[in-house]
Structure 1
Amino acid sequence: MKKVLVATEKPFAPAAIAQIKKIVDEAGFELALLEKYSSADELKSAVADASALIVRSDKVTADVVDAAKELGIVVRAGAGYDNLDMEACSAKNIVAMNTPGQNSNAVAELAFGMMVFQARNHFNGTAGTELRGKKIGIHAYGNVGLYVAKVAKGFGMHVYAFDPFVDDAKIKADGITPLSSVEELYSTCQYVSLHIPANDKTKKSINKELLSKMPEGGVLVNTARKEVIDEDGIVALMEERKDFAYISDISPDNKAVFEEKFPGRFFFTPKKMGAQTSEANINAGVAAANQIVRFFKDGDETFRVNK
């Protein structure tokens, strides 16, 4: 019997676990849970005889992969998968997947919650500004970008997008204006919503030179990864431009500098919260379980992210 291990330092909601168990049971598999664990050794021990692994933001390192003697598939319940060691998985012929789209609406709603909060001066009683009529640029037009675009149109914003991996015709079909370069996106839009992954090409790519192109009153909205931000560069920009604001779904390493120098011009969530809704929690876990069943039953590798 195949064993599906759900290993989560931050557990899924009980409702999600109940649905995951139902899917696994109906497939004739065994479900095992490792929740609120405190060391990598616990994970390595639990995964030793697992056929499949579901994680959230948990680190699946080369050591964990090496300990997983029976593992055929690991699924990151969420969109980002930089917590999975791709090279180690591929070396052992382990299929690595994510669950794209399951958290997208939650992330998009958070982005707009932060935007409204910043535009209205953190609700401090002073007059703020409105989003309606403003230009918003979507940097990377994937699942989250699509939801951000939909919400932005509801706010009455002018929506632009840049993504070299998405055909302009697709972006236009959604009623969005495609732009030809990242520089054009940043120079056109007062708001930029960032959705690029963190990899060797993108790390620290959002830098002072790029951000300085944004119009007056520029606001960078980051629900991606902090690694894509040149944190020293954004501090240097904000020292020069008193009109610029930075809002992010994760605190930068130099958060103390923002608190000292830029009060009212930034907002950082206390932890990464884009997927922290009841609905997203359930959706991602259920999708992961279904993908594992389809993989073992039908050989379906639709959402594979490694080679």
Structure 2
Amino acid sequence: MKVLVATEKPFAAVAVDGMRKVIEEAGLEFELLEKYKSADELKAAAANAEAIIIRSDIINADILEAAPKLKIVVRAGAGYDNVDLETSKAQGVVVQNTPGQNSNAVAELVFGMAVMAARNSYNGTSGTELRGKRLGLQAYGQVGRNVARIAQGFNMSVSAFDPYCPDEVMTNDGVKPLHSVDDLYSGNDIVSVHIPATPETRKSIGYFTITNMPLGGVLINTARKEVIDEDGLAKALRERPDIKYLADVKPDNADALKAEFGDRVFFTPKKMGAQTAEANINAGIAAARQVVAYLKNGENRFQVNK
């Protein structure tokens, strides 16, 4: 059985070596497709694959239909909106992610952005400190929990809104549970977004949400650009010159926002939350192990398209 590792944005070489070792020691065939330039290249490579491991690569209906032997797709990372879940389920293809493997890397990036915002992008003017500030987390999954852990080291007060997480999980971590988006945004100096892009969350953070923040509010988004209403964001920044927006997911209107708002906005040139050597290795090897566990034993603990 062939396992295809298909990454337009390659894994680190040490991660590839580790994945190859896991897969070949299980008696499976390893194939690597890196830096491909078109979907046709991916389709051709996928034609005889029983398993595909990807990063941010798109697995849509065309790719799935071109891979009749495919049994499993593993996204090395937490988000999986780059995979067509409906078509994969209809074709009997299991889709998994690797939750938690990139979470510390993303959480540390959140704090890199928080410090940048507090110090006015290091432009020489007087900034503020994070100690004593209120941090709100929109979702309390693996990334949110790591952000909370780091925030407590800064002596920040931390609260979170996540209707899918029991209150006691948060309180056990020293985090105050909140029960509405309004409370999250109105009661925190910094809000860090960790929600997935779903039909319910797309464009859910907009003008009214953002302008509900207190004076000097900072919004940090290391999740998905689709959860932001970009027109509403621009309007909020225009009417509230005290608010800042920093993101690891470059918005479609990034150039216009940067031109109008300068240092009040910041975007990484590409999605960099998981761009550390440690996260790269952890996620890749976890994906390889999950492929082996499914193909050999039918283990589907991390399946996201049940």
TM-score for the superposition, normalised by structure 2: 0.99
Preserved CA contact (<8 Å) 2:249 2:270: yes
Partner residue in 1 for 2:147: 148
Residue type of the alignment partner of 2:2: K
Partner residue in 2 for 1:275: 274
Preserved CA contact (<8 Å) 2:258 2:266: no
Distance (whole Å) between structure 2 residues aligned to residue 96 and residue 123 of structure 1: 42
Partner residue in 2 for 1:288: 287
Shift of 1:256: 2.2
* Residue 107 of structure 1 pairs with residue 102 of structure 2: no
Residue type of the alignment partner of 2:202: K
Shift of 1:255: 1.4
Runs of 4+ in 1 over 2 A off after TM superposition: none
What RMSD in Å do the two structures reach over aligned CA positions?
0.8
Secondary structure at the counterpart of residue 200 of structure 1: coil
* Residue 23 of structure 1 pairs with residue 10 of structure 2: no
Distance (whole Å) between structure 2 residues aligned to residue 237 and residue 3 of structure 1: 50
After superposition, residues 88-127 of structure 1 pair within 5 angstroms as 88-127=87-126
* Residue 158 of structure 1 pairs with residue 152 of structure 2: no
Superposed CA offset, 1:179-233 (max 9, x none) = 1111111110010000000011100000111111111110000001111001110
Partner residue in 1 for 2:263: 264
Q: Which stretch shows the higher mean deviation, 158-167 or 290-299?
A: 290-299
Distance (whole Å) between structure 2 residues aligned to residue 163 and residue 17 of structure 1: 35
Residue type of the alignment partner of 2:121: H
Q: Note the residue ranges of structure 2 that are not aligned, 5 or more in a row.
A: none
Shift of 1:257: 2.2
Distance (whole Å) between structure 2 residues aligned to residue 222 and residue 202 of structure 1: 13
Superposed CA offset, 1:33-63 (max 9, x none) = 1111111111111111111100011100101
Superposed CA offset, 1:228-268 (max 9, x none) = 00111011111111110000002211112222221221111
Residue type of the alignment partner of 1:302: R
Distance (whole Å) between structure 1 residues aligned to residue 160 and residue 177 of structure 2: 5
Superposed CA offset, 1:71-126 (max 9, x none) = 10000001110110101101110000010110000000011001101111111222
Residue type of the alignment partner of 2:69: E
Distance (whole Å) between structure 1 residues aligned to residue 100 and residue 22 of structure 2: 20
Partner residue in 2 for 1:301: 300
Residue type of the alignment partner of 1:224: A
Distance (whole Å) between structure 2 residues aligned to residue 240 and residue 35 of structure 1: 45
Distance (whole Å) between structure 1 residues aligned to residue 175 and residue 18 of structure 2: 36
Residue type of the alignment partner of 1:198: A
Distance (whole Å) between structure 1 residues aligned to residue 16 and residue 255 of structure 2: 38
Partner residue in 1 for 2:205: 206
Secondary structure at the counterpart of residue 264 of structure 1: helix
Distance (whole Å) between structure 1 residues aligned to residue 263 and residue 275 of structure 2: 25
Distance (whole Å) between structure 2 residues aligned to residue 164 and residue 68 of structure 1: 37
Secondary structure at the counterpart of residue 160 of structure 2: strand
Distance (whole Å) between structure 2 residues aligned to residue 12 and residue 87 of structure 1: 27
* Residue 170 of structure 1 pairs with residue 182 of structure 2: no
Residue type of the alignment partner of 1:64: I
Q: Percent identity of the aligned residues?
A: 59
Distance (whole Å) between structure 2 residues aligned to residue 41 and residue 276 of structure 1: 26
* Residue 221 of structure 1 pairs with residue 220 of structure 2: yes
Distance (whole Å) between structure 2 residues aligned to residue 204 and residue 5 of structure 1: 34
Residue type of the alignment partner of 1:38: K
Partner residue in 2 for 1:69: 68
Size of the aligned set, in residue pairs, is: 306
